[in-house]
Chain A
Amino acid sequence: MNSSLLFFVLLCLTLFSYWFGLQRSLKVAGGANNKKALTSLPKQFGLLTAMVCGLPALIALLIFNSGEHIVVEQLLTSTLPANIQSLSTIDLGLYLNNIRSITYSTTASEILNVINENSDVTTQTQYQAALTLQELNQQAAWIKTALVLIIASVSVLLLVRKFSLTYPARQKSEGIIRVLLVASSAVAILTTVGIIVSVLFESIHFFKSVSPIEFMFGTQWSPQTAMRVDQVGGSGAFGAIPLFAGTLLITFIAMLLAVPVGLMIAIYLSQYASSKLRAFAKPMLEVLAGIPTVVYGFFAALTVAPVIRNMGESLGLSVASESALAAGLVMGTMIIPFVSSLSEDAISAVPNALKEASFGMGATKSETVLKVLLPAALPGIVGAILLAISRAIGETMIVVMAAGMAANLTANPLDSVTTVTVQIVTLLTGDQEFDSPKTLAAFALGLMLFITTLGLNVLALKVVRKYREQYD
């Protein structure tokens, strides 16, 4: 049976084991009236049994599923004729894909027909291999089912034999739960490790073909690599400076919009606004924050960019249809609520006593804000700005839809530039095999992105922490 069904069956088994363990414990106690004789509650016995049934089997199922793909592929390849086995990884992969698609679309009997009726050697080999694949898959399914069911039942049976009046079911079940809790927390670490390892791994691969110096400092970005040895026009320059410059340009424009507007909104809402206005303004900010970035990207590409283009042309300027200005402005809009809410937090964190002291001396509200509150909240605000920059740098959809694809080293906001994130998407959503430097470049870019945003976040945290100690 296939994985989903197996999963479902396992689930039912687990539920059954709960009931089974519970009943068994009652039996050991000598009837339901005697259940106080047990040192643990019957339901804890049940829980323990359920966990012992489900968990080992589940783990086995997951491990099997992860490895199944690779093992089956290896076994299949070993049955192929030698000339096919010696194909390059890429070609072999294609060949195997071919075989797989045959198994998806034809039944076993149809495959046999083809083998018997078709005399072409290549077709014969293919369809023979397809047949083998089908058999292997079936065997795998059988083994998987058997494995899971056996593990589940054997574990349960072994367990209930140990049930006695003093069996520490509660402690054991709680111990297992504890392990599960720890494992859940570890997922976060695993994720980080996963990100670092995968990105690093592929980047190192990349740096074998392209030198890090060229990558970090080169000013030419045209990642066309030759598909075949004899292809013309595949030079492949991987200098990422135009990408960094483009990212910075758009981020800068976004910040120019978001920081003043966001900060002023924060000041007005926290110091001046009536509660009625605040009741309207907060949802407004949440709407801005909650709009998916793909929507912003659509707005930028199909509304803002043409408007800017028309305005520019009427002024006699030459504006690209995918100007950095359009992308930057919309990105700034998206970041406004971010800056605003973080700044408001920072300003509210300033002790009220300072505000009172300033008022008590006859300062106006604006004087108090500008001369006391903002300087006092400055670390928090700087932290907020750093986090906003980090967000802008990592933003993808707005720039994919509204910024250009051609690397352009310029400081003119009316030109079209491309960013790191755009290139990552472009490089990976095309049709190329996984190992070419082109695809790997995406991972190298991802590495740069990850390091930069991480660095900014850590810096933001440090700034806030270091200067916060001014109050008690």
Chain B
Amino acid sequence: MTKLNKNSTVSQPNDSTASITEIVTLGLKKRHRKEKRFKRIGLSAVLFGFLLVVILLGDITSKALPAFHQHWVKLDVNYQASWLNIDENSTKGVTESELAQANYRNVLKKSLYQMLPEVKGRSDKRKLAQLLSTNAEFTLKDSLIASPSLFDKQAQIWVRLDDDVDSYLKEAFPIGEAGLRLNQNQAQWLAQFTTSDRIESRFNFSFFTSGDSREPELAGIKGALMGTLLTMFVTLLLSFPLGVAGALYLEEFAPKNRLTDFIEININNLAAVPSIVFGLLGLAVIINLFGLPRSAPLVGGIVLTLMTLPTIIIASRAAIKAVPPSIREAALGLGASKMQVTFSHVLPQAMPGIITGAIIGVAQALGETAPLLMIGMVAFIVDVPSSIVDSATVLPVQIFLWADSPERAFLAKTSAAILVLLTLLLIINLTATVLRSKFEKK
């Protein structure tokens, strides 16, 4: 009797069959080994993919963490009238404009020297002052204006430390290490501050509330976020109606002729054109021909619209195609015109799919950088834009610009900005996924 087990000997009246089974059995072990190896290779490929994601996100997150907190130092500030350059003997009292124009830098320096009187000599004193952020004097100013009663009195004010100091405190590098511009004395003074509990680490709110700056400790993404918002607004405003209208026409109204085929081929090709080519188009046509302002969300939005349009059209067409023909026929049968059928019946039915497609299209556009570089959103823009024709930058471009900066602190800031961008994208994509599953259940 022939046994079917892998490791059995074979004896059977029918010789040729026995030998076939024998031959097959001989090869089985090797084949199963190959199978296992193949499966293992496949699994490791999938795990490799996971590993890449983990490494990428982990790396960026770990780099970003330092950006979320900043070190501040508590100074004993003396708002002495003479230091402020305000005439204290004036009978009118101190006016607001006088306060606004007073010499806070002087106050800052003098107060600082007063705190550490052992520091002598011009260059040493300068080094001491360099420990503080360049906007420390403005912090002093804001504090005095907020509480004018402090005039000519002493107060303890927290100010920001310079980015080099901040990095030093966070990473505790040895002095003089490349990129870190502190010397022994400065380290010593900092140690003094630390031991007297004058240094504190706070959450870096200004990251979210201020615009770009040359000084890393002051730089924030608010400007870029506003720019992104405005640009996305323009993109959505333009691409959604155009995309849906185009899709409706191609699916519902267009006759099946060569022109329609041509349009379809065009759209599919456009979807695969590299984004930088759209930037070239934007540069050549939109800016040079029409003279629209460079680096405005309006222009960025137009370029991104042209890029997103094929995606939205293709997604909308799929959604429209999915509407069962019975709905159309029923409406037509009741005497509705083609237009009414389309807008009152087909479109509402297809809307969930269309919206999902639009959201995904916008998410893609959100991360685009290259075309916006072309149309000039590379400038250093400090002010937060407030309209679609102001100069602006977008978050991906901001990341790109910061990535080039040599200061160590910008490394953390760039990573933090990336995290913000990824979070935004995550939210948008999750919304689309939730919407899609919600409407698929219906």
A–B contact, 8 Å CB criterion (strictly below): yes
**How many residues belonging to B are interface residues under a CB distance threshold of 8 Å?**
84
Chain B 376-433 residues near chain A, CB threshold 8 A: 378, 387, 389, 396-397, 399-400, 403, 411, 414-415, 418, 421-422, 425, 429
For B287, give the chain A residue with the smallest CB separation. Answer: A434
13 interchain pairs, CB-CB under 8 A = A185-B254, A187-B306, A199-B284, A272-B39, A281-B46, A288-B53, A290-B367, A295-B421, A299-B59, A394-B274, A396-B276, A425-B276, A443-B280
Determine, out of A84-92, A120-128, A447-455, the stretch whose residues face the partner at the interface: A447-455
For A366, give the chain B residue with the smallest CB separation. Answer: B38
Q: Footprint of A on B, CB under 8 Å?
A: 24, 31-32, 34-35, 38-39, 41-43, 45-46, 48-50, 52-53, 56, 59-60, 63, 241-243, 245-246, 248-250, 253-254, 262-263, 266-267, 269-270, 272-278, 280-281, 283-285, 288-291, 306, 309-310, 313, 337-339, 363, 366-370, 373-374, 378, 387, 389, 396-397, 399-400, 403, 411, 414-415, 418, 421-422, 425, 429
| In the complex, chain A residues whose CB is within 8 Å of the CB of B262 | 189
| In the complex, chain B residues whose CB is within 8 Å of the CB of A264 | 41-42, 45-46
CA distance A387 to B367 in the complex (A): 21
Chain A 156-208 residues near chain B, CB threshold 8 A: 170, 174, 177-178, 180-182, 184-189, 191-192, 194-195, 198-199, 201-202
For A183, give the chain B residue with the smallest CB separation. Answer: B245
Q: Footprint of B on A, CB under 8 Å?
A: 4, 65-66, 69-70, 170, 174, 177-178, 180-182, 184-189, 191-192, 194-195, 198-199, 201-202, 260-261, 264-265, 267-269, 271-273, 277, 280-281, 284-288, 290-295, 297-299, 301-303, 333, 336, 362, 364-367, 369-370, 387, 390-391, 393-397, 400-401, 421, 424-425, 428-429, 434, 442-443, 446, 449-450, 453-454, 457-458
For A337, give the chain B residue with the smallest CB separation. Answer: B49
| In the complex, chain A residues whose CB is within 8 Å of the CB of B48 | 261
B246 A366 Cβ-Cβ under 8 A: no
A390 B399 Cβ-Cβ under 8 A: no
B400 A198 Cβ-Cβ under 8 A: no
| In the complex, chain B residues whose CB is within 8 Å of the CB of A188 | 246, 263, 266-267, 270, 309-310, 313
B53 A284 Cβ-Cβ under 8 A: yes
B378 A185 Cβ-Cβ under 8 A: no
B278 A195 Cβ-Cβ under 8 A: yes
Closest A-B pairs by Cβ, 5 of them: A394-B274, A292-B367, A268-B42, A69-B291, A184-B245
A187 B246 Cβ-Cβ under 8 A: yes
Interface of B is mostly: helix
CA distance A265 to B285 in the complex (A): 43
Across the interface, B42 reaches (CB within 8 A) one of A70, A186, A267, A428, namely A267
| In the complex, chain B residues whose CB is within 8 Å of the CB of A261 | 45, 48-49
Across the interface, B49 reaches (CB within 8 A) one of A65, A184, A285, A366, namely A285
Minimum C-beta distance from B276 to chain A (A): 5
Minimum C-beta distance from A127 to chain B (A): 23
CA distance A301 to B399 in the complex (A): 13
Across the interface, B272 reaches (CB within 8 A) one of A285, A425, A457, namely A457
For A387, give the chain B residue with the smallest CB separation. Answer: B272
